[in-house]
Amino acid sequence: MPFKPNYNQQRNDRNRAKEARKQEKLRRREEESERRRAAESGEPAPDGAGPGAEVVNGSGPGNA
């Protein structure tokens, strides 16, 4: 017989995943605003990010 569903654990897992997505979105938004501020002030983008950034993990366009 399969295990009885543990609804509280499933709910906690969903909430954890939701919070992780929110944190990732917030981090990306902060990075984008930081890049915009740097571009407006004429400073180079932090961490070499930007339109000419090199693809490090190999998942760029042209790689399947």
Residue 20 domain flag: yes
Q: Is residue 11 part of a domain?
A: yes
Q: 25 lies in a domain?
A: yes
Domain count, the chain: 1
Question: Is the residue at 44 inside a domain?
Answer: no
User: What is 15-32 written as a DSSP string?
Assistant: HHHHHHHHHHHHHHHHHH
Residue 47 placed within a domain: no
13-55 confidence digits (pLDDT tens): 999 999 999 999 999 999 999 999 999 887 665 565 555 555 5
For 13, the domain range is: 1-38
Tens-digit pLDDT profile for residues 45-57: 556 555 555 555 6
Q: Is the dihedral of CA 26, 28, 34, 37 positive or negative?
A: negative
Q: Quote the DSSP letter at residue 4.
A: P
pLDDT confidence of residue 3: 87
For residue 51, being part of any structural domain is answered with no
Query: In the prediction, which pLDDT does 41 show?
Result: 87
